[in-house]
Amino acid sequence: MNVLILNGSPRKKGSTSAALSKKLKRRLIGCSVEICQIISAPEQEMLEKLKTADAVVFVQPLYVDGMPSHVIDFLKKAEAFCKENGCKPKVYAVSNNGFIEGKQNAVHLEQFRCWCERAGAEWAGGIGVGGGEMLRVISWIYPCLILVNFIASLFYLMKGAELNLQLFSQTLQNIGVYAFFCWHFWLTFGALSHNIRKNRKAKKNRFTRVFVPAFLFIIFADIFMVISSLLKGRFVFALLGKCKK
């Protein structure tokens, strides 16, 4: 089965949609999967791939409660192309957003369903993922922490420490915290991957999120925004600077 994953994030590096696309590809065992980023892949080549795709998965960020503008542009062309060439792939969508509620992506998923109706493609369901940025950060921080803890435990073991659960307590604790944050996302994402592998339609759209209470999420999100703004050089001085061009 041919699966085309279309990443709709305009970010060249470090996007949640890119990370989700890779995660999805890893889960689609037995399928031939290709990932294209809409903003950077040659447009005509991407459209041609629609002819041979059994399933197309749009993995996208939510922008102002809807589609990023370059995706709208692509969808218009894809609609005409599908009609001309009689392409009728099954279409799935994964929409991630910055706020914590996955349900905020409901309208975005609905936009894909409407597009399928116009293009003659078959809408097969989607998922809305809340706390996309947080999920991306957690999904690399925790595996790294777990690996470091595990290596440290092995190191102590080689130095003569007694082999017992206590030795691996830090590793187990971090596995537990990671699983707590992500369990609902893993299940929802797993269900979507399963449907794609089986070439099945989902009964309903599903919504998921990082499992953090909203009041805690706001604290994490604020810290994250401050650090990322500082690292990307957006100090107040930069904002007050002269125009470089």
Ligand X SMILES: Cc1cc2nc3c(=O)[nH]c(=O)nc-3n(C[C@H](O)[C@H](O)[C@H](O)COP(=O)(O)O)c2cc1C
The rounded distance, in Å, linking the Cα atoms of 135 and 140 is: 9
Tell whether residue 61 is a contact of ligand X (CB under 6 A): yes
- Contact letters for ligand X, residues 120-139 (x by CB under 6 A): ------------xx------
Pick the piece of the chain touching ligand X (CB under 6 A) from 38-46, 90-98, 211-219, 221-229: 90-98
Strand duo 55-61 + 90-96: pairing:
parallel
Q: Does 13 bind ligand X (CB under 6 A)?
A: no
Q: Could you tell me which of 143, 207, 198, 210 has the C-alpha nearest to residue 175?
A: 143
Beta bridge mates, 3: 33, 55
Residue 99 near ligand X by CB under 6 A: yes
Kindly indicate which of the ranges 59-67, 120-128, 163-171, 220-228 contains the residues binding ligand X, using the contact rule CB under 6 A.
59-67
Span of 63-71, 86-94, 192-200, 203-211 interacting with ligand X by CB under 6 A: 63-71
Rounded to whole angstroms, the Cα distance separating 200 from 203 reads: 9
Q: How far is the CB of 14 from ligand X (least distance, A)?
A: 7
Give yes or no for residue 91 binding ligand X (CB under 6 A). no
Evaluate whether 56 touches 121 at the Cβ level (below 8 Å): yes
Task: Point out which span in 33-41, 91-99, 154-162, 224-232 binds ligand X (CB under 6 A).
Answer: 91-99
The kind and range of the H/E element at 223 are helix 214-231
Residues whose CB is less than 8 angstroms from the CB of residue 211 and which lie 6 or more positions away in sequence, other chains included: 180, 181, 182, 183, 184, 185
- Euclidean distance between CA atoms 226 and 234, whole angstroms: 10
Asked if 104 interacts with ligand X (CB under 6 A), we say yes
Report in angstroms how near the CB of residue 102 gets to ligand X at its nearest. 10
Using rule CB under 6 A, residue 65 touches ligand X: yes
| Interaction of residue 58 with ligand X, rule CB under 6 A | no
Under the binding rule (CB under 6 A), the answer on residue 63 touching ligand X is: yes
The string of DSSP letters for 163-211 reads -SGGGGHHHHHHHHHHHHHHHHHHHHHHHHHHHHHTT---SS-EEEE-S
Task: Say whether residue 41 binds ligand X (CB under 6 A).
Answer: no
Residues 148-207 that bind ligand X (CB under 6 A): none
CA–CA distance from 106 to each of 97, 178, 185, 206, 223 (Å)? Answer: 11, 26, 16, 9, 27
Shortest Cβ 88–ligand X spacing (Å): 27
* 9 part of the interface to ligand X, by CB under 6 A: yes
Residue ranges that bind ligand X, judged by CB under 6 A: 9, 11, 15-17, 61-65, 96-99, 104, 132-133
